[in-house]
């Protein structure tokens, strides 16, 4: 990179470091470190001194901006009001997320009837299937206030903390709901909501196959939540879920299409850039203003500004300036998965696309561009996918090469169908038919690729592994572009191999103790057993919880073991994974024994009369455990759900509620029994 182009990446790096340091350091220590850094910069050349000063200023700016944002979002006007009945009035901010009991969505509260002096705020609303609103609609909800849910296990996704970073501190469990007429208004957001509702209504009236309509809405507006669950799973397994999210690809298609139309109508470059910029902004509002869409819109605006001024736009500088603007506006987006994946994919394409295309000169031009872009984005996002989801699709490269061009064509076809259906439905039949054909192709391809090969489970990488991967990426860039001497490239490669070997070193042997971690899963409960010999044994109460169990172990850098058992509703079996350790399953219960210790898991309420005795008992949510407890006589009761009723508490010396106390960790050496909250 030439020296004059260094300042955007230096500013972004410093701002990101400042945001990351805010929860880890004190402001006085940060000021001292920056002072020493600036002092050391006096020994450098003038240009490097300026870059170091810019980095220090960016770190301080990121730290202060994150501090101000955190203090604003930490304000909770409803603090201490949990379990209180409230009636709220306001606007739905997003498409409802389906849940087993109904749906959940973010809601902008304009007025609280019982607290009229309360300022406007946002809240999470949990509603039943009788009230499923659309984005932008105005509703009145009456229900009880509750705290936000926490993680199911220490490294699990903390939905409460994620919502708190967006200024949402409570949820409302709805008892009654009432729809209000739209309030109108001509602000940009209000117009975008009405236009979105108009487009969605036109597509629902014009596209009759429900699955095709859902897929067009997913690609056009990022409405992946309306897709059937099996199709969502197929896209995930094939590594093409990003096609269902409004992202930079959509913004690029919309901006380029509007600019091309303006040029075809005879406008010069400068006038044609104005409707293109407006189209990018309007689509950002239509798609919900997610971080990835806003990032792409800012990059488009920077590129159009360079085009208007007659300067050549650098993709790297546009990316860095766009990311810097986003983080300055909302620093909490640094922890957003969509923002990280979007930035990683574009950075990979900026770094590797051109060198890869030069290596693929024998291929047709369309295959050069498609293969290099897909490979670069896949490589750059692989560490992030391993960190957040602990699996990587083995067919994503081929699936993206085939499905991405069709998804790109489906975006303007879907927009044309939605617009034409609002004025003349017969004119919309031609693009609507093309949408149906493209949707059927994408659905069949996603299901085919998803069923062909299982996603590769990978453990969550630790910091040394991530450092080794970063060094490997640097070596790949140097090797593809032939930058630096061969000695320097060899040193970087050896460093990457050394750091990766350190991070992937084998774990020590077992501790000689039996360790059991108990947590709640969506369909039941999880018992993760580490045997005295260091082996992992996983017990889940429902076969549907197998993916969730794999996710839990992946967060701790473990693979899902072969010894994964989900007890059947009937039948009997016995296994001995290790000498002295025995797992016995009978209709209605499961028992794990080691030395003098026994863990009893009640599975079916109808067969609890035959439950054997044990030291720890697991009972599912909403069961009446009196008969089982009288027979098991446990020293510790793990209750999946809220605290058990008082008469049942007296049947066990100690009890643990997953809702009230969180996940549980039990450890025994064969003689003494210890239990505590499952922590890192």
Domain assignment of residue 78, yes or no: no
* Side-chain half-sphere CA neighbours of 251 within 13 A: 30
pLDDT tops 60 at residue 644: no
Q: Where does 521-607 have alpha helices with state H?
A: 546-555
Q: Which of 246, 230, 226, 231 is nearest to 132 (CA)?
A: 226
How far is the C-alpha of 73 from the C-alpha of 60, rounded, in Å?
A: 20
Do 647 and 672 have their domain in common? Answer: yes
Domain assignment of residue 57, yes or no: yes
The number of domains in the chain is: 6
Do 331 and 349 have their domain in common? Answer: no
Do 575 and 598 have their domain in common? Answer: yes
DSSP 3-state assignment of 377?
helix
Q: What pLDDT was estimated at residue 125?
A: 92
How far is the C-alpha of 432 from the C-alpha of 203, rounded, in Å?
A: 9
Regarding predicted confidence, which is higher, 578 or 264? 264
Strand partners, 655: 637
Q: What pLDDT was estimated at residue 264?
A: 85
* Side-chain half-sphere CA neighbours of 623 within 13 A: 21
Do 196 and 260 have their domain in common? Answer: yes
How far is the C-alpha of 106 from the C-alpha of 292, rounded, in Å?
A: 19
Name, in order, each residue with C-beta under 8 angstroms of 210's C-beta and a sequence gap of 6 or more.
Answer: none
What CATH number is given to the structural domain containing 117?
2.40.50.140
Do 131 and 257 have their domain in common? Answer: no
Q: What pLDDT was estimated at residue 599?
A: 79
Domain that holds residue 157: 85-183
For the chain, the average pLDDT equals 78
Domain assignment of residue 509, yes or no: no
* Of 431-435, 451-455, 512-516, 622-626, highest mean pLDDT: 431-435
Final residue in a domain of this structure, among 47, 73, 99: 73
Q: Say what the alpha-carbon torsion angle 316, 319, 321, 322 is, to the nearest 10 degrees.
A: 170
Reported as a pLDDT band with limits 50, 70 and 90, residue 560 is low
Strand partners, 627: none
Domain assignment of residue 658, yes or no: yes
Regarding predicted confidence, which is higher, 569 or 95? 95
Do 107 and 202 have their domain in common? Answer: no
| Whole-Å CA distances, 619 to 46, 65, 611, 638, 657 | 69, 47, 12, 6, 10
Domain assignment of residue 20, yes or no: yes
| Whole-Å CA distances, 57 to 54, 71, 593 | 5, 21, 60
Domain assignment of residue 474, yes or no: yes
Do 269 and 292 have their domain in common? Answer: yes
Q: What pLDDT was estimated at residue 570?
A: 46
Do 219 and 259 have their domain in common? Answer: yes
Rounded to 10 deg, the angle between the 429-452 and 396-421 helix axes is 160
Domain assignment of residue 80, yes or no: no
Do 51 and 129 have their domain in common? Answer: no
Do 635 and 671 have their domain in common? Answer: yes
Domain assignment of residue 79, yes or no: no
Predicted TM-score (pTM) of this structure: 0.77
Name, in order, each residue with C-beta under 8 angstroms of 632's C-beta and a sequence gap of 6 or more.
Answer: 600, 602, 611, 612, 613, 614, 617
- CB–CB of 286/197 below 8 Å? no
Reported as a single tens digit per residue, the pLDDT across 426-460 is 888 888 888 889 889 999 999 898 888 777 777 77
Name, in order, each residue with C-beta under 8 angstroms of 580's C-beta and a sequence gap of 6 or more.
Answer: 532, 594, 595
Place of tokens 């010069």: 268
Do 283 and 156 have their domain in common? Answer: no
Reported as a pLDDT band with limits 50, 70 and 90, residue 640 is low
Do 289 and 422 have their domain in common? Answer: yes
Q: What pLDDT was estimated at residue 107?
A: 92
């Amino acid at each position: 990179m030439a020296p004059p182009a260094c300042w955007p990446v230096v500013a972004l790096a410093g701002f990101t470091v400042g945001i990351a340091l805010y929860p880890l350091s004190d402001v006085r220590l940060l000021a001292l470190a920056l002072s020493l850094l600036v002092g050391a910069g006096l020994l450098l050349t003038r240009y490097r001194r300026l870059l170091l000063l810019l980095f220090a200023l960016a770190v301080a700016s990121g730290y202060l901006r994150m501090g101000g944002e955190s203090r604003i979002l930490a304000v909770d006007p409803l603090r201490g009001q949990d379990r209180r009945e409230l009636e709220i009035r306001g606007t739905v901010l997003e498409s409802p997320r389906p849940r087993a009991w109904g749906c959940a969505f973010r809601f902008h509260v304009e007025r609280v009837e019982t607290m009229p002096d309360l300022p406007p705020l946002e809240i999470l609303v949990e509603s039943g299937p009788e009230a499923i609103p659309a984005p932008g609609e105005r509703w009145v909800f009456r229900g009880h206030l509750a705290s936000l849910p926490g993680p199911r296990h220490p490294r699990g996704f903390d939905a409460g903390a994620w919502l708190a970073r967006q200024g949402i501190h409570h949820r409302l469990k709805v008892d009654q709901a009432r729809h209000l007429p739209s309030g109108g208004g001509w602000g940009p957001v209000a117009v975008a909501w009405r236009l979105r509702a108009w487009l969605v209504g036109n597509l629902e009236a014009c596209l009759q196959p429900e699955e095709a309509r859902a897929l067009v809405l997913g690609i056009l507006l990022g409405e992946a939540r309306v897709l059937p669950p099996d199709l969502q799973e197929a896209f995930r397994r094939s590594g093409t879920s990003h096609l269902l999210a409004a992202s930079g690809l959509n913004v690029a298609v919309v901006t380029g299409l509007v600019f091309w139309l303006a040029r075809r109508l005879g406008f010069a470059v400068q006038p044609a850039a104005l409707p293109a910029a407006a189209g990018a902004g309007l689509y950002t509002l239509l798609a919900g203003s997610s971080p990835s869409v806003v990032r792409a819109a800012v990059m488009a605006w920077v590129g159009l500004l360079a085009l208007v001024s007659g300067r050549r736009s650098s993709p790297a500088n546009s990316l860095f300036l766009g990311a810097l603007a986003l983080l300055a506006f909302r620093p909490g987006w640094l922890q957003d998965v969509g923002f990280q994946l979007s930035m990683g994919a574009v950075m990979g394409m900026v770094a590797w696309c051109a060198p890869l295309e030069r290596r693929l000169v024998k291929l047709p031009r369309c295959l050069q561009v498609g293969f290099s872009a897909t490979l670069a984005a896949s490589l750059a996002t692989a560490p992030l996918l391993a960190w957040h989801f602990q699996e990587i699709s083995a067919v994503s490269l081929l699936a993206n090469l085939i499905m991405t061009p069709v998804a790109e064509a489906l975006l303007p076809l879907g927009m044309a169908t939605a617009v034409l259906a609002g004025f003349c439905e017969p004119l919309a039949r031609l693009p609507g038919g093309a949408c149906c054909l493209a949707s059927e192709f994408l659905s069949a391809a996603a299901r085919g690729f998803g069923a062909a090969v299982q996603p590769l489970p990978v453990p969550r990488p630790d910091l040394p592994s991530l450092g080794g991967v970063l060094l490997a990426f640097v070596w790949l860039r140097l090797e593809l572009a032939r930058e630096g001497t061969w000695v320097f490239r060899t040193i970087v490669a050896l460093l990457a191999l050394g750091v990766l070997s350190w991070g992937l070193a084998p774990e020590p042997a077992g501790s000689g103790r039996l360790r059991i971690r108990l947590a709640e899963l969506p369909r039941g409960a999880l018992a993760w057993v580490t045997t005295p010999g260091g082996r992992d044994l996983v017990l889940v109460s429902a076969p549907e919880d197998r993916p969730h169990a794999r996710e839990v172990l992946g967060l701790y850098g473990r693979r899902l073991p072969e010894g994964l058992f989900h007890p059947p509703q009937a039948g009997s079996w016995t296994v001995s994974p290790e000498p002295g350790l025995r797992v016995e399953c009978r209709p209605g219960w499961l028992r794990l024994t080691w030395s003098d210790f026994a863990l009893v898991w009640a599975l079916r309420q109808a067969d609890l009369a035959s439950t054997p005795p044990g030291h720890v008992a697991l009972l599912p949510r909403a069961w009446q455990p009196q008969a089982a407890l009288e027979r098991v006589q446990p020293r510790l009761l793990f209750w999946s759900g809220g605290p058990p009723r008082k008469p049942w508490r007296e049947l066990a010396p100690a009890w643990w509620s997953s809702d009230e106390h969180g996940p549980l960790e039990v450890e025994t050496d064969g003689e003494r029994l210890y239990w505590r909250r499952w922590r890192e």
